[in-house]
Amino acid sequence: MTATAYQQAMREFLSERPEWQAYLPAISLSAEPSAVENPLSTGPVDEIVKHLPDVADLGGADTQHLVRLALAASGALRWFSTYRADDIRVGRGKVARTAVATLAGPGGVFSARHAMSGLFFVREGVEYAAHSHEADEIYVLLAGSGHFWREDLGWYIARPGDVMENASWIQHAMMSAEQPLLIAWAHVGEGVGDRALLHSDDGSLPDGGPTAKEGA
């Protein structure tokens, strides 16, 4: 099963990084069928997912194999959007140009207790305004370089292989520029599966960041 190969490789990636061990339970290899609909799911995103091959060559030295395995598994996954299309608080392009898939957790291929993990595909030119959630989160940037913001760090650039943590209720935001991004995400702790709180009224990004190219 192609999703298993990806999941095993992601477990190895995290196993080699002791600082992220708390997230390992989210990368489950249990193949019990998950009977619960993903609680975040708001609709299919086929027109977005067809652009997923754009990230094929954007991995780094320690993530290119994960990109290859994720693309091989992508057809077996159910991709969805996590926000309503008319919610302007989310940020420009967030709904129209991103897609999420759950690997482990409710609605995923694998089951995991009190944890979820999956993939997040972000096309170029997307702004995702500040949001927060109770669950602890890591993003492993698999492909592409992008701009990320955390309330205690400000804006920074992340590259393939970087692991970013957003602890419980800390506000975070992001922006893709010329490159699409493929992100592996994992949530653990209280509030796994809950919808994120949005902190912008109009979808604008936190101050001090880069601005997406018009029409990108």
Select from 124, 127, 136, 137 the one that contacts Fe ion (CB under 5 A): 137
Q: Closest residue (Cβ) to Fe ion?
A: 137
Q: Which is nearer to Fe ion, 59 or 118 (CB)?
A: 118
| Span of 1-9, 136-144, 154-162, 203-211 interacting with Fe ion by CB under 5 A | 136-144
Q: What are phi and psi of 5, to 5 degrees?
A: -60, -40
Residue located via tokens 């669950």 = 135
What is the C-alpha to C-alpha distance for residues 81 and 64, in angstroms, rounded to an integer?
25
Q: Which is nearer to Fe ion, 39 or 68 (CB)?
A: 39
Of the candidates 50, 110, 92, 96, the one whose C-alpha atom is nearest the C-alpha of residue 75 is 50
Of the candidates 211, 45, 62, the one whose C-alpha atom is nearest the C-alpha of residue 119 is 45
Q: Which is nearer to Fe ion, 54 or 165 (CB)?
A: 165
Q: Does 136 bind Fe ion (CB under 5 A)?
A: no
| Span of 4-12, 114-122, 133-141, 153-161 interacting with Fe ion by CB under 5 A | 133-141
- We find the least distance from the C-beta atom of residue 60 to Fe ion, in angstroms, to be 22
Q: Which is nearer to Fe ion, 69 or 126 (CB)?
A: 126
- We find the least distance from the C-beta atom of residue 171 to Fe ion, in angstroms, to be 9
| Span of 17-25, 65-73, 137-145, 151-159 interacting with Fe ion by CB under 5 A | 137-145
- We find the least distance from the C-beta atom of residue 137 to Fe ion, in angstroms, to be 5
Q: Which is nearer to Fe ion, 145 or 168 (CB)?
A: 168
Chain centroid offset of residue 82 CA: 11
Structure tokens at 85: 């299309």
Q: Which residues contact 148 (CB under 8 A, 6 or more apart)?
A: 139, 155, 156, 157, 158, 164, 172, 173, 174, 175
What element of type H or E holds 7? helix 2-15
Q: Footprint of Fe ion on this chain (CB under 5 A)?
A: 137
